Structure 1
Amino acid sequence: MSIFKKKHTQSYDKMNKKPVLKTSVCTGEQVAGFQDIHTGKIEEIMLIKQTGDIDTFKQMYGIDGEIPKVY
């Protein structure tokens, strides 16, 4: 048995949702999540406390490229 765990990529509905960073205009706080392209509703997944958290979110869901900000 290995002490290292294999990282599994989680999935999301790529046909109906897009990854976004919900950003507060006042405080600058950011939350990574997915926005429904039909309703605009955002499902918040994780709080971004430092720049490395965005990379973690991208790796968790297999996202390449930049994630757009939503205010």
Structure 2
Amino acid sequence: MFFRKKRETRTYDRKTQEPVIHASICTGEKVAGFRDLRTGRFTEIMLIRTSGDLEKFRRLYGIGEGEITTQY
């Protein structure tokens, strides 16, 4: 094929940010994003509804299996 869909890859600063999943205890809603290590500020990236959404988040940012922490 001549026109292949390009794989999108995004980056984040691994020295100042860590990947985190914010999960609500009440509703079970999960949001993936990055927490600033200095300030603790959370930046939302995407809503996680299925395991496929989580895999998409990992693929987009090149995050390994054990690198994401969950905060409630």
User: Is the structural similarity TM-score above 0.5?
Assistant: yes
Q: How many residues align?
A: 71
State the match for 2:34 in structure 1. Answer: 34
Aligned to 1:22: 22
**Structure 2: gaps (5+ residues):** none
CA RMSD after TM alignment: 1.3
Which aligned runs of 4 or more in structure 1 are off by greater than 4 angstroms? Answer: none
Determine the C-alpha separation between the residues in 1 that align with 2:4 and 2:70.
34
Tell me, what secondary structure is at the counterpart of 2:46? strand
Q: C-alpha offsets along residues 33-69 of structure 1, whole Å, 9 cap, x if unaligned?
A: 0000111110000000111100000000000123110
Aligned to 1:45: 45
Using the aligned pairs only, state the percent identity. 46
Q: How far apart, in 1, do the equivalents of 2:35 and 2:25 lie?
A: 18
- Gaps in structure 1 of 5+ consecutive residues: none
In structure 2, how many angstroms separate the alpha carbons of the residues matched to 1:32 and 1:54? 8
Normalising to structure 1: TM-score of the pair?
A: 0.91
